[in-house]
Chains A and B, each alone.
Chain A
Amino acid sequence: MHIGTQHVSGDNWEGYQVLTQLGVNHVSANPPGSWQNWSVDILTQFKEKLASIGISLDMIILPLSSVAAKSQGLPHIFLGPSSERDEELDRLCDLIRNLSLAGIPAGRYNITILGHLRTERRIGRGGATLSSFEYSKLDQSLGEFEGGTADADEMWERIDYFLSRVVSVAEEYKVRLACHPQDPGIGGQTYRGVARVMGMAEGLKKFVEMHESPYHGLNFCIGTVSESLGNPGEEIYEVVRYFGERKKLFNIHFRNIKGGFLDFVEVFPDEGDVNMLRALRTLKEVNYPYMVMPDHVPGISGEAPGAVGFAYCFGYIHALMQALDEED
């Protein structure tokens, strides 16, 4: 396994250079411009240009990001049967083929309708602002989702349809599809009439068994999965092991939280409830071979807070990886 990142993308070449300076040589990044123009040529040129400065393009994010469906590049894929859904799935399959032909081995994506859910930010160490979630403070006045409600059965049906279309293409073209859990899971409840079946570990277990394939797996976010556990500091490692042993981990978001199910804050990796060294050791024990990357970072003061926060995480991950090497 190796350190990676997703926070530099497009034509931010100065940003990529800093990555190489900080010993980060693997990325999930997207070519500049709209995904609709990502021809094999554009993808290939982007990959080669990164390679020329010592960066391996291990992954891109497909036009199914973590935001609400209506803001997605492909907004209809998880909204139930429609001709738009089928057209979008065709385009997604075309993109998977293009990735393969450009030599990009993986794409990450989200299955989400409402996007990430968060409530008011809280204050952390030194006044850092922390992305937070408290279920009881979730805005319940919004009513049912205007695109139609979907209970758990309905969601699984839509997911099944999605997988039935894309997994065989991914397998044929040998492109790993890495799905990010829903952030956060809220158990068996719905929010605005929509179930979040991909937010809980049990849901993820079911997910990887559907249309089972070595090219169908997870962008496993340690933060998000911890958010679904009652006591993540004790429980997360076995969840990591479960998916790791089954070779379903295609990318790791290396993020920590305080709290757990229905009430948590995102914190710096060193100060949360999860022992990140133990999490990384578990990944090593299951011979996880891909990227380990910081995900979000707390809001810090001063200039370039994002770059500073990620630099902190790179140093931290480097140190833990070195410490693990020394354990051998």
Chain B
Amino acid sequence: MKIGTRISPDWLNRPDDLRFLKQIGVDCVDITLDICPGYSEAGGRANRAGLEKVVETINKAGLKIERANTSNRDYIKTFLGRPGSEQELDNLIANTELCGEFNLPVMGIQCFQASLFGHFPKSLHSYIEGRGKYKHLKVDLSDALDQPSPEGAPTHEEIWERTLAIFRGVVPVAESVGVKIAMHGNDPPVSSIFGVPQILYNFTAFDRLFSEVPSPNNGMTFCVGTRYESGEDVFEGIRHFGEQNKIFHVHFRDVRGTILEKKSYEEVIPDSGDLDMYQVAKALHDVGYDAVIDYDHIMRLATDGPEGREYIAYCVGHMRGLLQAVESCS
């Protein structure tokens, strides 16, 4: 397995900050395509020169791009059934082809999130104090579940149809250019928030996505945190999807509490949550997963800057220790 991290877009202009990742042993990075010059201006479509610049900068620091992510805002019209969906799909296909051209192994396609429909009447997020008073995210869904659907919101089946339309358009292209499409799924993983439906919130939904658009290039970002939050068994999920070679990328994040039990959860430092991250790493290893694990969200430490270099270093060290231990046992 390899270790990945996200990067701060402005690090592209500050080579020291990219080099620090390589120095602490990071292998790969995750980018969002909107960091490519010209992407946003073209309405969510990368151009060759723009992506080339990003790839070159990252390679020069000794790193490789593992996953290029798209934003669900890039195909919001499709999800909401508004005019312009053809252009969005065309952009996604062009992005896929470009990722193939630069040999980027994985491209992320996001699902429809309830937040895309509009602002929630009440924030789900608060920041609470953890170990040593570091601030971390708490997501509380106790008022947000089982609410009536607001007027004009798409139905579950509509979201399915529109999501599948995207996948039916993109996946064959991904196959032909050798790019894997990784679906992260909803975060928070629930079937609706304040009545707005979401579809990709459990293992069954991923199974449906993979059976409706069957392809070795149609798989998932297995977000350990999100999958745990849902209340489903993370280890069963790793076995189930890993054995089918559907895990293309892993978010290696720890959580305290599940929605199933408490309707809330907290995102915490990886050695301090409910999950035994050694066992998670071992399960991934046992199922033959050999791509990237990435710690995902950043916690703010007392002396850390906004980019979280100390926190990143801590997580990378933690992942490296777990991987070496797991790999030495086999």
Contacts and interface: CB of A to CB of B under 8 A. Distances in A.
Contacts of A314: 314, 317
B131 interface: yes
Contacts of A38: none
Contacts of A268: 24-25
Interface in B250-293: 269-272, 276-279
Given A125-B25, A270-B324, A319 B318 contact: yes
A271 B25 contact: yes
A124 B24 CA distance: 10
Interface in B15-62: 16-17, 19-25, 61-62
B240 interface: no
B295 to A, nearest CB: 9
A21 B309 CA distance: 15
Contact of A21 (B134, B278, B329): B134
B315 interface: yes
Interface string A16-27: 011111110000
A319 B317 contact: yes
Given A300-B23, A304-B310, A311-B313, 9 more contacts: A21-B269, A23-B272, A300-B19, A307-B303, A308-B20, A318-B321, A319-B317, A319-B322, A320-B325
Given A318-B321, A319-B317, A17 B19 contact: no
Nearest to A15: B303
A128 to B, nearest CB: 4
B25 A301 contact: no
18 contacts: A20-B132, A20-B133, A23-B272, A124-B23, A270-B320, A271-B25, A277-B324, A302-B20, A302-B309, A312-B314, A313-B317, A315-B317, A317-B317, A317-B321, A318-B318, A319-B318, A319-B319, A319-B322
A304 B305 CA distance: 9
Contacts of A320: 321, 324-325
A237 B168 CA distance: 57
Interface string A294-328: 00001011111101110111111111101110110
Contact of B133 (A21, A127, A270, A304): A21
B269 A23 contact: yes
A127 B271 CA distance: 29
Most buried by B among A17, A317, A319: A319
Nearest to A278: B328
A126 interface: yes
Given A14-B302, A21-B302, A124-B23, A312 B16 contact: no
A294 B317 CA distance: 12
Interface of A: 14-15, 17-23, 53-54, 124-128, 268, 270-271, 275-277, 298, 300-305, 307-309, 311-320, 322-324, 326-327
Contacts of A17: 132-133, 302-303
Contact of A126 (B62, B276, B305, B318): B62
Interface string B98-140: 0000000000000000000000000000000011111000000
Nearest to A124: B23
A54 B325 contact: no
A323 B326 contact: yes
B222 interface: no
Given A23-B271, A302-B16, A316 B320 contact: yes
B25 A322 contact: no
Interface in B57-87: 61-62
A323 B327 CA distance: 11
A309 to B, nearest CB: 7
A311 B315 CA distance: 8
Contact of A18 (B279, B301, B325): B301
CB-CB nearest 6 A-B residue pairs: A319-B321, A126-B22, A315-B317, A20-B132, A323-B325, A315-B318
Contact of B328 (A22, A275, A305): A275
A316 B62 contact: no
B316 interface: yes
A318 B20 contact: no
B160 interface: no
B311 interface: yes
B73 to A, nearest CB: 31
Contacts of B322: 319, 322-323
Nearest to A309: B313
B57 to A, nearest CB: 14
Most buried by A among B130, B302, B305: B302
A324 B22 CA distance: 27
Contacts of B277: 319, 322
Contacts of B20: 126, 300-302, 305, 308
A312 B317 contact: yes
A315 B315 contact: yes
A303 B328 CA distance: 34
Contacts of A304: 303, 305, 309-310
Contacts of B316: 312, 315
B325 A312 contact: no
B271 A322 contact: yes
Contacts of B276: 322, 326
B123 to A, nearest CB: 25
Nearest to B270: A315
A125 to B, nearest CB: 6
